[in-house]
Structure 1
């Protein structure tokens, strides 16, 4: 694509992006806080729930734990702190050079500096973490939850339980029925068994178990690698086409990432030939990649990830592009802790986002494992909805009793 065409496409979304700006806060320049420090804290593990192998990482099972991990904290001279997922400790000093002494409200300009200084695509996670923490500060100063600052569109959203392991048809059917009984409205199932018949049989049994009033999504996990090889079963075009057509007959909502990440030709041709919506984008870096996908007709549903797709700025830009192109945007899960909460606030502002993805594969890996680090974590209620936090900023706080000494 020519540079002029790309810039033209971005400018067409300017109005949508402008509508996402923060309302004026009645604070003078000298009254706003200034950044004094950036810290990364490790968190204590509360327990272990069992070993599970992720479908996208075959051959690498690991112990699932309650709590643990880390979080980033940005401090200010007014005692207001912002929190975010844990960043790479090796990059904290570089971020301090940019941020200490600065106004957190200037996060747009600071974000562009971080992208340039921090090594572009190799460090999107760190940029995303810092941006989340800066916005948390802004929300706390304003006394408003972020989704209200950004322009609220809804106060809650249905959550779908995103499965983690590649399992048997019988087990997936039993799990889906249990989740439905708990109030969940949808489930995403990993589908890339050795035999395609096993994939289809899995969905047939799940559909039989939950009936027609329950949403089923599927994920082929074929775009994990940026190259042409990844571990596990790799689909060709024929398998993707045959699977997509069979899933449509079973009333599956979408098929996710059925071909390699950058096989835009194959994906656009597949999308042209099937009726089931195709979804993807969780590992795509940079807003321009989503622009290319939209121009090529690669996906019907965009799935950017806040810790991959250029942080808060990038995710909001992708959402604006999707809206301008009449596509849905349903972000990747956000990591299962503070990144998920940040995305929840964004979803609260988007009319074209009907779901939130929550990693939840009980009993070994329920979503409560990751959310255990927060005192007031959001929950999936008995009707399958997750409400936007009502407190200022992210609206959640880390349980500081879990912080490990340095």
Structure 2
């Protein structure tokens, strides 16, 4: 089986986001790619691809560096493709962390389709459902986080994670109000997205311990190994990180071996596709470390994340951004969540159909 044709769609979706939901205050039209790989045996698989703030530059990189690489290759030879691209990328491609992922995802989906198995069973299933938690965007006031956390709890989901704006006093108030609102038993996490100094992170970590938060994610930049290692050493609350390191899982290995963080993060979008997620999870598992699957933003990619989470033991949750209606486009049918757990589809490959009417409407160019 060989990949005989690749289409790269440049897409723009009007989500309704105003810009206040992100710390930099800039609005986002949620531009994305849709990568379609067709084989000489008549199989076809498509994956959404992250595009940052522009599908045009992301698509040009994909068309220049990834499309020529994958054309003519066998999607079943995923490890060879992975290893060969490591060499190719170093020789002056140096692509962004999100470029390889959708092509790797498409190869896995083609392979699972050929085997007649849903992706998670093709990988080697561990479970058929995964507890889901909601992950906030940046909200205007501390009380808004408490109100949102109550809505998530009322929906029956398993937990809630705050993305506060990064002002220490605001953030601390938000974390306190959320805990007061949901009570002592509901699972809460914090992710300030590298907003603090080491000293602020240490103080916030101690406050979160008193509030019984489940983990403290990316309090410092992922590459700040020295500061993160100190937080991990001093604090009892688990420190999570490594979600935007390049060259994972290899760069992640040092984070695990020398306890830069307590929990590592991986996802199919920013981390190198299904191959990288499974390598990362298995590496972490060998050290007795959790590898929590990080949101891939767009629900067609979240579904691939879910397949990976269902094929590993050392990931406690499945993450979805809230409000979900900003990001739940792209699938013909919504993700199924029952009793706070995301359910795995049973069809071959992705196990679900993409919403091609929406994709067609969103497409502004094809490369």
Question: Do the two structures share a fold, i.e. TM-score over 0.5?
Answer: yes
- Counterpart position of 1:356: 318
1:64 Cα deviation from its structure 2 partner? 5.9
Corresponding position of 1:89: 59
User: Is contact 1:284–1:290 with CA below 8 Å preserved after alignment?
Assistant: yes
Q: Residue 284 of structure 2 aligns to a residue in which SS?
A: helix
Following superposition, the deviation at residue 293 of structure 1 comes to 0.7
Q: Which residue of 2 aligns with 1:106?
A: 77
Counterparts in 2 of 1:240-251, with a 5 A limit? 240-251=201-212
Could you tell me how far 1:333 is from its partner in structure 2?
Answer: 0.6
- Indicate if the aligned counterparts of 2:10 and 2:59 stay in contact, CA closer than 8 A: no
Shift of the alpha carbon at 1:44?
Answer: 6.6
Correspondence 1:38 to 2:9: no
Which structure 2 residue ranges, 5 or more long, are not aligned? Answer: 51-57
Answering whether residue 324 of structure 2 is matched by residue 367 of structure 1, we say yes
Where does residue 16 of structure 2 map in the other structure? 49
Q: SS of the counterpart of 2:37?
A: strand
CA distance in 2 between counterparts of 1:44 and 1:297 reads 40
Instruction: State the match for 2:188 in structure 1.
Output: 216
**Count, aligned residues:** 351
Q: Distance in 1 between matches of 2:215 and 2:234?
A: 14
TM-score under structure 2 length normalisation: 0.88
1:309-348 matches, within 5 Å, as 309-348=271-310
Unaligned runs of 5+ in 1: 1-32, 223-233, 361-365
Q: How do 1:197-216 and structure 2 match up within 5 A? A: 197-216=169-188
1:134 partner SS: helix
Counterparts in 2 of 1:112 and 1:247: CA distance versus 1, 3 Å: same
SS in 2 for 1:58: coil
Report the CA distance between 1:199 and its aligned residue.
Answer: 2.0
State the distance in 1 between where 2:64 and 2:162 align: 41
3-state SS, counterpart of residue 98 of structure 1: helix
Return the alpha-carbon distance in structure 1 between the equivalents of residues 328 and 278 of structure 2.
24
The verdict on how the C-alpha distance between 1:140 and 1:178 changes in structure 2, with shifts beyond 3 A counting, is: same
Question: 1:217–1:308: structure 2 CA closer, same or farther, 3 Å change rule?
Answer: same
The within-5 A match list for 1:86-165 is 86=49, 88-90=58-60, 91-92=62-63, 94-119=65-90, 121-165=94-138
Larger radius of gyration: 1
Give CA-to-partner distance per residue, 1:253-307, whole Å, 9 cap, x none: 0111112322212211111111111111111112222111112211111112323
TM-score, normalised relative to structure 1? 0.80
C-alpha displacement at 1:352, in angstroms?
A: 0.9
Rounded Cα–Cα distance in structure 1 between residues aligned with 2:228 and 2:99: 30
Residue 24 of structure 2: aligned partner: 58
Where does residue 226 of structure 1 map in the other structure?
none
Please name the residue that 1:384 is paired with: 340
